[in-house]
Amino acid sequence: MRSSIGALLVFTLALAPWLARPAAARDKEHQQIAADVRMLQVMQQEQAQQVQALLGQLGETLRIVSQRLDDQAKASLKAFADQKLVIDALQRDLGVLREKVDDSNTRLGSVSQEVEALRQGLQQAIQAAARAAATPPDPAEATSAAVNPNGDGSPAGAPGGAGPVAVGTSPNRLYDMAYSNYTSGLWDLTIDGFQAFIRSFPKHDLADDAQVYIGNAYLQDGKNEKAVEAYDLAIRTYANGNAIPEAYYKKGLALKNLKQVDLAREAWEYVVKTYDQSTAALLAKQQLQQLTAPPGR
């Protein structure tokens, strides 16, 4: 309590000189203080306005920068999109060009084969003409040849395995003729036609198909042993041909007809294992299921 009294006494003594001043002096000083306070208020307001203006400028600057960044991002995206369109167009053009090149290669191969067939036909014609010129014709033989040029009892002009292919016959025409005989059920003519095709065009893309059709003709004709031999020849000669899965499957059918079930199962299992995505594999699975199914089902 004494300390509080002392502090009050000290404050009173300090205030005494100010209280002792004349009232006019005190008013003047009070006015000066009020003026200073107003000046500080004005300065504070000006500073607040300046800060507000700076904040506005900063916000506008940020807006402009953000707008520019958005514009640049849109421009970049558009550039990427344009580049992708160009790349896609180039890929499409490249695909079309590749297809045209493949088509041209196929056509060139077909033309080359037809030219080769024409060359072989001309050579055969020249050789036949040379032999005819060197050997005097026998009237009896000439009459027999005119009636039966194939020498096997077939009529003149019938497609057979013994006679040469006509000069200028294209591989596609020769193949179609043999296939037409197959669809008509003319098994002997089918075999002769496809054999002639293979002799004339052994490296043609359809050579493996032709050999398999020979086996199919034997199979349809009930000559199962001949069919197995034909399919084995296709498998040995055209190991990478697209008709080989069918050759294995049909070989299994021929072996099944010959009561050689174990060998038939081996052929079908090989198809399923090696050519699992082929139609022949699907048919082979069905045959294997029939072998393993209980009797009566």
Tens-digit pLDDT profile for residues 56-71: 888 888 899 988 898 8
* CA pseudo-torsion sign 257, 237, 172, 105: positive
CA distance 44 to 139: 139
Q: Distance of CA 260 to CAs 3, 224, 232, 297, Å?
A: 130, 11, 15, 22
Query: φ and ψ at 21, to 5 degrees?
Result: -70, 160
2, exposed or middle or buried, with CB in 10 Å at 0-12, 13-18, 19+? exposed
Q: Tell me the pLDDT of the chain averaged across its residues.
A: 79
Buried b (16+ CB within 10 A) or exposed e, 229-267: bbbebbbeebeebebbbbbbbbbbbbbbeeebeebbbeb
Buried b (16+ CB within 10 A) or exposed e, 25-62: eeeeeeeeeeeeeeeeeeeeeeeeeeeeeeeeeeeeee
* pLDDT tens string 31-45: 888 888 888 888 888
CA distance 61 to 77: 24
* pLDDT (0 to 100) of residue 157: 38
Residue 204 is classified by DSSP as: S
CA distance 151 to 145: 7
* pLDDT tens string 97-143: 676 666 556 556 655 666 666 665 555 556 566 666 666 555 554 44
CA distance 64 to 70: 10
